[in-house]
């Protein structure tokens, strides 16, 4: 089935260590604020840097309020033709941990609050969505959710899709990455020679996509997937999977490499990821568009990363600003363009990359809408 309707991002909301709204998030990035905390409670006998939401409300409350805000601000009078798509790596694991740590028992754990679709389960109790789908593909979860949203909108299956990327901090994930020896004791510095590693973080990102544009819409023009299956936890060193995903996304958007103005990198701050992605970008983009990672502000929000970085990419296009890299003092590449300051620029297309364990790669292309 090929109808080719367009997918427009018409409303969004974000909550992260960098702010309790999308505007706060973007301001924190442009002003290079310190958003990452040092924590000694997750990993025994060790301080690690994490990205923690600074809000007294529970993660569940913030999630429900955020969705209500986006839906209330939209043109929807009801949600009967709205699909809910959730991308998450953690699901309700944090809820399960809190019950277990309190009771020292599994008896009171509710499996409906534990699984990946627990987020959709709770949202459906509040809103009358037509249906829901949950994606759990590690750190590409919400990027893949956005890709699926574009597909169902372009085929005319739905007119409205609410995409939610959400992951909360929990001991299982923080200690899991500690076991891989990739955590940093300070805020991460992707693409810097002196980087230590990544920061595990939490975030909620909510985007409403529709098949008709509004005054300030940004189009999700292209989606590209690949799977290089090089290694369980490391990407191919030459960036082969990343290259394929980017190439597929640009092909889907029907644009050339030269038309890309900014790349929001996956950029976790680990040696394996940064080098692989840099190799892919340097080999593809001879025009050297600016590349940067916003994880030095938000940390790595795991399954929420694709959605929250989609919001950042959309705001770059809306505000015509290339956002800065934070604390990038000694870049380990001279064949890639970085900026340490927010720059006003003529942006037409932005690429946002999300890469995950197992060589699971997704690239998204966002484009400024024409005036007519």
**Domain 8-368: which CATH number of 3.30.70.370, 3.40.50.280, 3.40.47.10, 1.10.760.10:** 3.40.47.10
Q: How many residues in the chain? A: 372
Give me the pLDDT at residue 94, please.
85
Give how far Cα 141 sits from Cα of 31, 67, 267, 308, Å: 29, 18, 16, 12
Active-site residue, 230 included = no
Q: Bridge partners of 165? A: 87, 205
CA dihedral 358, 326, 22, 153 (to 10 degrees): -40
Mean pLDDT, consecutive 10-residue segments, the chain of 372 residues?
A: 84 98 98 97 94 96 96 87 95 86 84 88 92 96 98 95 97 94 96 96 98 95 92 85 97 97 97 95 95 98 98 98 96 93 97 92 94 56
Query: Does 266 participate in catalysis according to the annotation?
Result: yes
Q: Which of these is catalytic: 300, 316, 325, 369?
A: 300
**For residues 223 and 351, what is the distance between their CA atoms, to the nearest angstrom?**
10
Task: Give CA–CA dist 95/108, Å, rounded.
Answer: 11
Radius of gyration, alpha carbons of the chain: 19
pLDDT at 357: 86
**Going along the chain, which residue ranges are E strands?**
8-16, 37-39, 48-50, 82-87, 131-135, 160-167, 203-210, 218-227, 262-264, 290-292, 321-322, 343-344, 349-356, 360-368
- Which pLDDT score, from 0 to 100, does residue 95 have? 86
What are the structural domain ranges in the chain? 8-368
Question: Is 139 annotated as catalytic?
Answer: yes
The pLDDT tens digits for 132-177 are 999 999 999 999 999 999 999 999 999 999 999 999 999 999 999 9
Q: What tokens were used for 326?
A: 């934070």
Residue 371: the pLDDT is: 60
Nearest to 92 by CA among 69, 122, 62, 66: 122
Active-site residue, selected from the candidate residues 30, 35, 67, 139 = 139
d(CA 223, CA 235): 19
Given 266, 316, 325, 369, the catalytic residue? 266
């Amino acid at each position: 089935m090929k109808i080719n309707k367009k997918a427009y991002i018409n409303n969004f909301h974000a909550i992260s260590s960098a702010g309790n709204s999308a505007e706060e998030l973007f301001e924190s990035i442009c002003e290079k604020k310190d958003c990452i905390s040092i924590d000694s409670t997750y990993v025994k006998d060790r301080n690690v840097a994490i990205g923690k939401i600074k809000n007294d409300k529970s993660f569940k409350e913030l999630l429900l309020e955020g969705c209500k805000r986006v839906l209330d601000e939209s043109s929807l009078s009801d949600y009967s033709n709205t699909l809910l798509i959730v991308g998450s790596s953690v699901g309700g694991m944090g809820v399960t941990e809190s019950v277990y740590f309190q009771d020292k028992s599994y008896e009171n754990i509710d499996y409906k609050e534990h699984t990946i679709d627990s987020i959709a389960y709770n949202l459906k109790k509040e809103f009358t969505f037509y249906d829901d789908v949950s994606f759990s593909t590690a750190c590409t979860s919400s990027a893949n959710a956005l890709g699926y949203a574009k597909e169902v909108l372009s085929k005319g299956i739905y007119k409205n899709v609410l995409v939610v990327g959400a992951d909360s901090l929990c001991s299982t994930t923080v200690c899991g990455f500690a076991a891989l020896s990739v955590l940093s004791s300070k805020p991460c510095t992707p693409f810097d020679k002196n980087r230590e590693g990544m920061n595990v973080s939490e975030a909620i990102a909510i985007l409403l996509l529709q098949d008709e544009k509004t005054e300030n819409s940004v189009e999700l023009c292209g989606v590209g997937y690949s799977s290089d299956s090089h290694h369980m936890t490391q990407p191919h060193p030459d960036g082969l999977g990343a290259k394929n995903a980017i190439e597929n996304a640009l092909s889907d958007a029907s644009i050339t490499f030269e038309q890309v103005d900014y790349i929001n990198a996956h950029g976790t701050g680990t040696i394996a990821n940064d080098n692989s992605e840099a190799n892919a970008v340097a080999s593809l983009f001879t025009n050297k568009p600016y590349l940067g990672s916003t994880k030095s502000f938000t940390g790595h929000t795991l399954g929420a990363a694709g959605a929250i970085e989609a919001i950042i990419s959309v705001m770059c296009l809306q505000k015509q600003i290339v956002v800065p890299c934070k604390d990038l003092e000694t870049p380990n590449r001279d064949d890639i363009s970085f900026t340490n300051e927010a720059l006003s620029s003529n942006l037409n297309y932005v690429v946002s990359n999300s890469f995950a364990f197992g060589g699971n790669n997704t690239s998204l292309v966002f484009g400024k809408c024409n005036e007519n």
